[in-house]
Each structure stands twice: as C-alpha cells, then as structure tokens.
A and B are shown apart, each in its own frame.
Chain A
Amino acid sequence: QVQLQESGPGLVKPSETLSLTCAVSGFSISQGFYWGWIRQSPAKGLEWIGHIHHSGIVDYTPSLKSRVTITVDTSKNEFSLTLTSVTATDTAVYFCARRSSGYDEQYFDSWGRGTLVIVSS
C-alpha cells in the first residue's frame, strides 16, 4: 500500500522560498501515476497546486505557475515542491498526493497526512 510523507520547514519568512519533499513508500514512482501537491487553508479551502509524472510531464495551477516548481527524484522515490516569494496568503497545510494513473483520471487516491507551513517573520 502506497504511503506518502511530507517534510520540510514549518515556518518560512515572507519573500523567501518554501520547499517541501514528499517521500513515497510502498510504491515506485517510476511505475507511473502522477504525483501532486494540494494545499488547504481556511481562506481558500482545498487548492490544487500541481502534479508531475515520473517522465517529467508537469501541470501547475495558473495562479501559482510563475512561483511554483515540482520535481521528481526517482532514485530517492520522492518528489518536491518549491514555491518562491511567499507571503502570508501561502500559509496552509500542504498535502502531497498520488493522482490516478489514467490520463483523464485527475483525482487523488492516496494522500499524505499534510504539513502545516506558516509564513511569518
């Protein structure tokens, strides 16, 4: 059974860069599927950030596209999120998740427990 675990700093200063990693166990990223990031805040609810295929195919939400990068490291079986120039509005619980494998199956069938990131000086 696939398990996902987010890690990274819980506190980031405004204007700096948020970096999170999702370690995947019980399943090889190289076998397929897409791997995504979703965040949740009281103000915006659940917000899809983007997802990546092990081949490097990636999609981002347009509102964050200029600041976000998602990468995958198949050797470590993990994928990462980088969000630059953060502000208080980026404060949220960040989830990593596995997106179903089919090209049209853009829903998330396994989720990490989430990690709270607070943007504050």
Chain B
Amino acid sequence: DIEMTQSPDSLSVSLGERATINCKSGQTLLHSFDNRNYLAWYQQRPGQPPKLLISWASTRESGVPDRFGGGGSGTDFTLTINGLQAEDVAVYYCQQYFSIPLTFGGGTRVEIK
C-alpha cells in the first residue's frame, strides 16, 4: 500500500493570507508512461462529504476557485490556498490513485486565525 502523509495536522491562517498543505507519498506517483502524477485533493467541510478539488496533482475541477492550486511531483505535493476565505475552513485530504488500494492522507485542518 502507498502511505500518504500530510503535514501539518492543522494550521491557522488569517483571512486573505496563504495556506499551504503538504502531502508526501511513500513511493512516486509519477507514472513514467504518461508523465502524470496520480494525486487528487479533496475538501471536506464540517458535516459534509469530501469534495474533489484537484486531480492529476494540479488540474482544478470545474467550478473550483482559482485561489486553490496544486503543485509538486513524484513524492512531494502541495495544496495552496491563496487569499483564504471563511468558506475555506475545512479538512483537506490528498489521495493517490497510482495503484490499488487507493489511499488517503490523514487530513489537514484549516482554521481562521
């Protein structure tokens, strides 16, 4: 199984500031045959199911604000929220889909400072 490790566990950010979440995989998620990173990011607001934000490490889903950005390659990835808004308070998860079983990171809680 590919282990996914997120850091920090939680962070407090002022409104309008940047939040950066890290995700590290136990093995590379970069597939050699298509040169794509098999990583997704989700947002889970309180009392709601996860919502897909980003796939292929950096491709935003339709309707996701452009203040959300995904980066990284191989084993190290980041989710950046530029200009944090109140509605961004949530837990964020990374998920690898390089191989079965699909696995998720432990989550990073983002709060307003």
Contact = CB atoms under 8 A, between A and B. Distances in A.
Interface of A: 45-48, 59, 61-63, 95, 97, 100, 104-109, 111-114
A44 to B, nearest CB: 10
A107 B97 contact: yes
State which size class the interface on B falls in: 20 to 34
A71 to B, nearest CB: 19
Chain B binding site: helix, strand, loop or mixed by DSSP? loop
Centre residue among B34, B42, B93, B102 by max chain A CB count within 10 A: B102
A61 B100 CA distance: 7
B39 to A, nearest CB: 9
A108 B52 contact: yes
Contact of A107 (B40, B49, B107): B40
Given A113-B48, A113-B49, A104 B106 contact: no
Interface string B76-111: 000000000000000001010100111111110000
Contacts of B68: none
Nearest to B51: A111
A109 B60 CA distance: 12
